Amino acid sequence: MPELPEVETVCRGLARVMDGKRLVRLDLHRPDLRFPFPKGLRERVEGRRIGIVERRAKYILIRLEDGGTMIGHLGMSGRMMIGRDTNEPLGAHDHVVFAVEDGVTVRFNDPRRFGFLDFAEAGALGAHPMLVTLGPEPLSDAFTGAVLARRLAGRKSSIKSALLDQKIVAGIGNIYASEALYWAGISPQRSADDVSGTHAEGLALAIKQVLTRAIAAGGSSLRDFVQTSGELGYFQHEWAVYGREGEPCPGCDCGKTIEKFVQNARATFHCPRRQT
């Protein structure tokens, strides 16, 4: 499920019910997800008031008023589901339950347990090992073609592989890497180093546009629910290439069909004529 647009969708859903609310209870129903939960997490956060919920890259930041921050990541299969019933029975893979005032609960469900929940004290968030290396937010004004070109310069890997590197630009995953390269007309196999000038401008723009459109659609749903309400995202219907092997190239009348191949052990989809 979760690349930048899906995490943004989840954060917006969480913000609606968590911003400014007191965290009444934190229930940890196992000792770990991908990593052990921080020692004393429950005692540290219970009773504290939440400031805001926001996103950085694919990370969910639940910021407490006292400056501490819970850092959530959904991995491959994580969901955050909002409920209104504090006594709702625990479902399979409901590993963490946040209870806020007004009887609202948020269940962190993650079958594969690649997600995690960590904590950073006030002032330590920026230095968190998983945040400190992150590249720029692609939807920020600071992310431009020139910035992208500078970060790609000297990289000998393929451009697709570089887009998946969170140190170069944050939040892009396997679906939106293929989609952005398609709209920019750049072959996923091009050397990253080779993407500069107007090509980098076009790619930065394509990234912004595809992510913005995906957020507007509530993200993409492959097989899991995305939104905190349980509603599916709808952007999968707007994918140009991802999962569309054998279908006609949708963006022009080039007459080619979308091809799939394995690149760095991940599926890549592209149009062999439109993308060069």
Partner DNA sequence: CGGCAAACCTGCGAGC
Partner DNA sequence: TGCTCGCAGGTTTGCC
Nearest approach in angstroms of CB 158 to DNA is 6
Report yes or no: 234 and 251 within 8 Å, Cβ to Cβ: no
Of 156, 87, 98, 167, which Cα lies nearest the Cα of 129?
A: 167
Half-sphere exposure of residue 239: CA atoms within 13 angstroms, side-chain side? 22
The footprint of DNA on residues 122-141 (CB under 7 A) is 129-130
Which span (13-21, 80-88, 200-208, 260-268) binds DNA, by CB under 7 A? 260-268
Q: How far is the CB of 122 from DNA (least distance, A)?
A: 22
Distance CA 8, CA 212 (A): 10
Which is closer to DNA, CB of 99 or CB of 179? 179
CA-CA distance, 267 to 74, in Å (whole number)? 20
Closest CA to 69 of 14, 109, 124: 124
Which of 30, 84, 266, 273 is labelled catalytic?
266
User: Would you give the binding string for DNA spanning residues 156-195, x where CB under 7 A is met?
Assistant: xxx--x--x-x------xxx--------------------
Catalytic residue among 58, 63, 79, 274: 58
Nearest approach, Cβ of residue 227 and DNA (Å): 10
- The secondary structure of residue 6, as a DSSP letter, is H
Instruction: Indicate the residue among 142 and 265 with the shorter CB distance to DNA.
Output: 265
3-state secondary structure of 10: helix
Annotated active-site residue 3? The verdict is yes
H or E element in which residue 5 lies: helix 4-18
Interacting residues with DNA between 196 and 225 (CB under 7 A): 219-224
Query: By CB under 7 A, which span of 12-20, 41-49, 95-103, 152-160 interacts with DNA?
Result: 152-160
266 is catalytic: yes
Give the integer Cα–Cα distance in Å for 144 and 146.
5
Phi, psi of 88 (to 5 degrees): -55, 135
Cβ distance 207 to 181 under 8 Å?
Answer: no
* Helix (DSSP H) and strand (DSSP E) numbers for the chain: 6, 10
- Measured from the CB of residue 217, what is the shortest distance to DNA in angstroms? 12
Q: Which stretch binds DNA (CB under 7 A): 43-51, 143-151, 182-190, 258-266?
A: 258-266
Least distance to DNA from the beta carbon of 271, Å? 18
Residue 56 binds DNA (CB under 7 A): no
For residues 75 to 114, the per-residue mask of contacts with DNA, x marking binding by CB under 7 A and - elsewhere, is: xxx--------------xx-----------------xxxx
CA atoms within 13 A on the CB side of 238: 18
The footprint of DNA on residues 20-49 (CB under 7 A) is 34
So which residues are the catalytic ones?
Answer: 2-3, 58, 266
